[in-house]
């Protein structure tokens, strides 16, 4: 007996709807995409009861003729592709020809459409895929499609819908995903008769501000890259804008909102030292690649995408975001109008790509107008802690002795004059100071961790710390696992001033220690350092140098720092101001709170 039946169209469409239309927001997405594909310049989205009773999209696009108005509800009916090869030449949002068929199977639909070149339009009414009316009608150019009673015949779906607020949130999100990349299109959004959003045509920055609010105004910085293989445009927000939620992350590929774990990582990883753990940076970035190098036909909702060469895109994206972040210096008060120009011209899609390395200006000081000049450490505390740092910007050919002691450069002008800021000793934990016209409070421990981290990273990458050779080397003994780690990073430890030599499986001779730290407790330093290093490596998968520098900085901060005299405090603050990323500690903690004169005034208004 034959048991296999071909499913009736209605059932097949309902099944397809299960994948494509999960909630009112999915229908909104499909209708908005169709309006964009129809070349509309003005789109209205009208919602009632969070989409339960009505979802209407009105566009001024190219409309449909009498027969097409009927055809568009058939499964696999599309005007956007004709052959399978067209999938790799896509310039439209739609191509699967199943959205309208799916929607019609689970709702009541009313379509009014008219092509500008025709006299009359068409009205088509369907209920659960059944055509109830199909007549010529008078209507304006373009298309108006109303979806009523969504899921009327799929009670399970209807019952699974969340509260109106949640469903409305999803709808808004779909609108954002379209409106943020189609900035030349005017959008208006009504909910229960109320105008929720009106977005005039504008550039992308203005569109972002219109969607998310004026607080974004000073916080967006452009990312740009133009090569033959890939073009990257868009904006990233300052690290301080990072939130615990991911909801301000927009990645577009060829004008389509996509979710792509790897590429999101390419962006997020550049922020890793700059924002607290668990926070997500905001970004609005579009990647444009030749359509033949991507596959968007992976999921029915077309939100996933496959690249021919995602490692290349990763490298480009990562480098261009880094470039923008690097030039920002990440300081809140300054609005850079930097336009990063990357010269990647000549790189072909198949070329191997090395991400460009960043060169940050270690002397950049956001608080000073004289940022290009070198600084001279002028007191002993600073020399002790990181006199090194200022000199490490000199070419590596400089002799080590000169790197440690900066006397030679005394004739150069200082960037920060300590006497310019008044420092108040607030408590052992916090320093309060007035700088230009702002009041700043810094957390001493976090600031110190930041200073030391940059100092050690600098040492690892550019100028090793000078070693004081031990005349009578002591021996330290570690646990087997710690010894294994130490053995693995002996060269790095040497660069940081700890010259260890393995004696047997678990013990090491200490042949030298950092010149700036005579008589340090090497056993304790190394033991604590290894513990922290293990956690960093395990938890954060940061690169080796960064993990080492972080761990050592943290280890050094475990002892209390006494900075009670004013010169010490001033030197400390100066040291901190000279950091490349002063605002955030390497553990992701906020280092400073800054009150501008304006903010202080507002407190009392
Ligand atoms: P797809 O978008 O994948 O082609 P849809 O089911 O969404 O499939 O739409 C089917 C067809 O209906 C489209 O290919 C298009 O020709 C037509 N269509 C849908 N919406 C509109 C619209 N707003 N304006 C003009 N044509 C439309
Ligand atoms: Mg479509």
Q: Which of 431-445, 467-481, 558-572 has the highest mean pLDDT?
A: 467-481
Residue nearest to atom 2 of ligand 1 (CA): 94
Is 32 in contact with 178 (CB distance < 8 Å)? Answer: yes
DSSP labels for 463-532? Answer: -PPPEEEEEEEEEEE--HHHHHHHHHTHHHHHHTT-EEEE-SSSEEEEEEEEGGGTT--HHHHHHHHHHH
pLDDT of residue 392: 29
Of 318, 316, 320, the residue nearest 223 (C-alpha): 320
Q: How far is the CA of 190 from the centre of ligand 1 (A)?
A: 23
Backbone angles phi, psi at 172, to 5 degrees: -60, -40
- Pocket of ligand 1 contains residue 143 by CB under 6 Å: yes
Residue 30 CA, closest ligand 1 atom number: 7
Residue nearest to atom 13 of ligand 1 (CA): 78
pLDDT of residue 434: 79
Q: Are strands 42-48 and 294-295 parallel, antiparallel or unpaired?
A: unpaired
Q: How far is the CA of 58 from the centre of ligand 1 (A)?
A: 13
Residue 192 has pLDDT above 80, yes or no: yes
Is 317 in contact with 344 (CB distance < 8 Å)? Answer: no
Residue nearest to atom 8 of ligand 1 (CA): 97
Is the pLDDT higher at 390 or at 102? Answer: 102
State the CB neighbour count (10 A cutoff) for residue 334. Answer: 11
Q: How far is the CA of 72 from the centre of ligand 1 (A)?
A: 6
Q: What percent of the chain has pLDDT over 70?
A: 82
Is 587 in contact with 446 (CB distance < 8 Å)? Answer: yes
3-class DSSP state of 407? helix
**pLDDT average, residue stretch 149-156:** 91
pLDDT digits 0-9 by tens, 352-369:
544 444 444 444 433 333
**pLDDT average, residue stretch 75-95:** 87
Assessment of whether the complete model's pTM goes beyond 0.75: no
β partners of residue 237: 220
Of 470, 453, 452, 450, the residue nearest 384 (C-alpha): 452
Residue 96 CA, closest ligand 1 atom number: 3
Q: Report DSSP state, residue 193.
A: T
**pLDDT average, residue stretch 472-484:** 88
State the CB neighbour count (10 A cutoff) for residue 31. Answer: 25
Q: How far is the CA of 36 from the centre of ligand 2 (A)?
A: 9
Give the mutation target among 73, 100, 105 for probing the ligand 1 site: most ligand atoms within 8 A of CB.
100
Residue 100 CA, closest ligand 1 atom number: 6
Give the separation between CA 530 and CA 485, rounded to whole angstroms. Answer: 7
> For the ranges 211-215, 237-241, 491-495, which has the lowest average pLDDT?
237-241
Backbone angles phi, psi at 199, to 5 degrees: -120, 105
- Pocket of ligand 1 contains residue 362 by CB under 6 Å: no
CA atoms 56, 59, 65, 71: torsion sign: negative
pLDDT of residue 359: 41
Give the separation between CA 279 and CA 245, rounded to whole angstroms. Answer: 7
Residue 541 has pLDDT above 90, yes or no: no
Residue 5 has pLDDT above 90, yes or no: no
pLDDT of residue 311: 87
Instruction: Work out the pLDDT band at 344, boundaries 50, 70, 90.
Output: very low
Q: Which residues surround ligand 2, an ion (CB under 5 A)?
A: 34, 94, 99
Of 8, 19, 16, the residue nearest 101 (C-alpha): 16
Q: How far is the CA of 114 from the centre of ligand 2 (A)?
A: 18
Is the pLDDT higher at 293 or at 388? Answer: 293
User: What Cα–Cα distance (Å) separates residue 170 from each residue in 22, 28, 54, 255?
Assistant: 11, 10, 15, 20
pLDDT digits 0-9 by tens, 311-342:
889 989 998 998 888 776 543 333 333 233 33
Is the pLDDT higher at 514 or at 539? Answer: 514
**pLDDT average, residue stretch 7-34:** 87
- Residue written as token pair 């209605």: 10
Helix (H) or strand (E) holding 271, with range, is none
- Pocket of ligand 1 contains residue 536 by CB under 6 Å: no
3-class DSSP state of 148? strand
pLDDT of residue 578: 83
Residue 22 has pLDDT above 60, yes or no: yes
Give the separation between CA 88 and CA 550, rounded to whole angstroms. Answer: 46
Give the separation between CA 1 and CA 82, rounded to whole angstroms. Answer: 38
Q: Are strands 220-226 and 194-199 parallel, antiparallel or unpaired?
A: unpaired
**pLDDT average, residue stretch 142-152:** 96
Residue 101 CA, closest ligand 1 atom number: 6
Is the pLDDT higher at 274 or at 208? Answer: 208
Calculate ∠ Cα 223-228-233, nearest 5°. Answer: 20
- Pocket of ligand 1 contains residue 38 by CB under 6 Å: yes
pLDDT of residue 106: 94
Residue 99 CA, closest ligand 1 atom number: 6
- Pocket of ligand 1 contains residue 95 by CB under 6 Å: yes
Residue nearest to atom 17 of ligand 1 (CA): 72
Give the separation between CA 493 and CA 512, rounded to whole angstroms. Answer: 11
- Pocket of ligand 1 contains residue 312 by CB under 6 Å: no
Give the separation between CA 98 and CA 491, rounded to whole angstroms. Answer: 60
Give the separation between CA 511 and CA 490, rounded to whole angstroms. Answer: 12
Backbone angles phi, psi at 549, to 5 degrees: -65, -40
How far, in whole angstroms, is CA 169 from its chain's centroid? 22
pLDDT digits 0-9 by tens, 451-460:
999 999 999 9
Is the pLDDT higher at 499 or at 8? Answer: 499
Ligand (nearest to CA of 115): 1
Of 181, 215, 210, 216, the residue nearest 198 (C-alpha): 210
**pLDDT average, residue stretch 575-584:** 83
Backbone angles phi, psi at 240, to 5 degrees: -65, -15
Domains of the chain from N-terminus onward: 9-201 (3.30.565.10), 209-327 (3.30.230.10), 373-605 (3.30.1370.100)
pLDDT of residue 494: 93
Residue nearest to atom 21 of ligand 1 (CA): 34
Give the separation between CA 433 and CA 441, rounded to whole angstroms. Answer: 6
Q: How far is the CA of 96 from the centre of ligand 2 (A)?
A: 7
pLDDT of residue 420: 64
pLDDT of residue 375: 32
- Pocket of ligand 1 contains residue 65 by CB under 6 Å: no
Instruction: Work out the pLDDT band at 518, boundaries 50, 70, 90.
Output: low
Q: Which of 70-74, 362-366, 386-390 has the highest mean pLDDT?
A: 70-74
Give the separation between CA 184 and CA 199, rounded to whole angstroms. Answer: 10
Q: What is the separation, in whole angstroms, between the first and last Cα of the chain?
A: 86
pLDDT of residue 167: 93
CA atoms 170, 175, 176, 181: torsion sign: positive
Ligand (nearest to CA of 43): 1
Helix (H) or strand (E) holding 327, with range, is helix 310-328
Residue 81 CA, closest ligand 1 atom number: 4
Calculate ∠ Cα 227-233-238, nearest 5°. Answer: 130
Dihedral angle, C-alpha 27, 33, 38, 39, nearest 10 °: 140
pLDDT of residue 539: 55
168 Cβ neighbours under 8 A, 6+ residues apart: 47, 50, 51, 191
Is 468 in contact with 404 (CB distance < 8 Å)? Answer: no
Mean pLDDT, the chain, integer: 81
Instruction: Work out the pLDDT band at 382, boundaries 50, 70, 90.
Output: very low
Residue nearest to atom 23 of ligand 1 (CA): 35
């Amino acid at each position: 007996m034959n048991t296999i039946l071909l499913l009736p169209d209605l059932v097949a469409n309902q099944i397809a709807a299960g994948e494509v239309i999960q909630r009112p927001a999915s229908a909104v997405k499909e209708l908005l995409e169709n309006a964009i594909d129809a070349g509309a310049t003005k789109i209205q989205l009208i919602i009632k009861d969070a989409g339960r009773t009505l979802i209407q999209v009105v566009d001024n696009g190219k409309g449909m003729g009498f027969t097409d108005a009927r055809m568009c509800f058939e499964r696999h009916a599309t005007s956007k592709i004709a052959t399978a090869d067209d999938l790799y030449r896509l310039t439209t949002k739609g191509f699967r020809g199943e959205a309208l068929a799916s929607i019609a199977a689970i709702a009541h639909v009313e379509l009014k459409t008219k092509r500008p070149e025709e006299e009359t339009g068409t009205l088509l009414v369907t209920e659960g895929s059944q055509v109830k009316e199909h007549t010529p009608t008078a209507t304006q150019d373009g298309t108006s499609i109303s979806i009523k009673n969504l899921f009327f015949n799929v009670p399970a779906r209807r019952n699974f819908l969340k509260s109106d607020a949640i469903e409305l949130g999803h709808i808004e999100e779909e609108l954002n995903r379209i409106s943020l990349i189609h900035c030349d299109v005017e959008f208006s959004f009504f909910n229960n008769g109320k105008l929720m959003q009106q977005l005039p045509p504008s550039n992308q920055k203005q569109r972002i501000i219109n969607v998310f609010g004026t607080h974004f105004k000073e916080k967006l910085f452009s990312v740009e890259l133009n090569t033959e293989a890939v073009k990257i445009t868009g904006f990233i927000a300052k690290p301080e804008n990072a939130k615990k939620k991911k909801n301000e992350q927009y990645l577009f590929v060829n004008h389509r909102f996509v979710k792509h774990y790897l590429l999101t990582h390419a962006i997020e990883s550049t922020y890793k030292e700059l924002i607290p753990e668990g926070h997500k940076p905001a970004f609005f970035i579009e990647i444009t690649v030749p359509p033949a190098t991507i596959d968007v036909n992976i999921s029915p909702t077309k939100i996933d995408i496959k690249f021919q060469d995602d490692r290349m895109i990763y490298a480009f994206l990562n480098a261009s975001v880094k470039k923008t972040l690097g030039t920002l210096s990440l300081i809140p008060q300054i609005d850079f109008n930097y336009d990063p120009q990357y010269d990647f011209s000549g790189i072909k899609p198949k070329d191997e790509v090395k991400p460009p390395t960043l060169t940050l200006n270690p002397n950049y000081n956001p608080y000073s107008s004289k940022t290009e000049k070198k600084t001279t450490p002028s007191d002993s505390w600073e020399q002790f802690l990181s006199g090194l740092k200022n000199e490490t910007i000199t070419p590596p050919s400089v002799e080590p002795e000169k790197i440690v002691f900066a006397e030679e450069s005394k004739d150069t002008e200082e960037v920060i004059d300590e006497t310019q800021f008044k420092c108040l000793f607030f408590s052992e934990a916090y320093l309060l100071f007035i700088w230009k016209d702002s009041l700043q409070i810094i957390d001493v421990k976090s600031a110190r961790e930041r200073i030391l981290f940059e100092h050690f990273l600098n040492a690892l990458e550019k100028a090793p710390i000078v070693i004081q050779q031990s005349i009578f080397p002591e021996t330290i003994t570690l646990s087997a696992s710690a010894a294994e780690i130490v053995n693995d990073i002996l060269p790095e430890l040497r660069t940081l001033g700890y010259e260890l030599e393995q004696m047997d499986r678990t013990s090491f001779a200490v042949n030298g220690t950092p010149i700036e730290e005579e008589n340090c407790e090497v056993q304790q330093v190394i033991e604590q350092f290894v513990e922290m290093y293990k956690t960093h490596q395990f938890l954060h998968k940061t690169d080796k140098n960064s993990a080492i520098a972080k761990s050592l900085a943290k280890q050094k901060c475990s002892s209390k720092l006494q900075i009670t005299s004013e010169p010490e405090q001033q030197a400390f603050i100066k040291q901190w101001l000279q950091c490349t990323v002063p605002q955030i500690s390497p553990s992701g903690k906020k280092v400073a709170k800054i009150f501008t004169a304006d903010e202080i005034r507002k407190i009392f208004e």
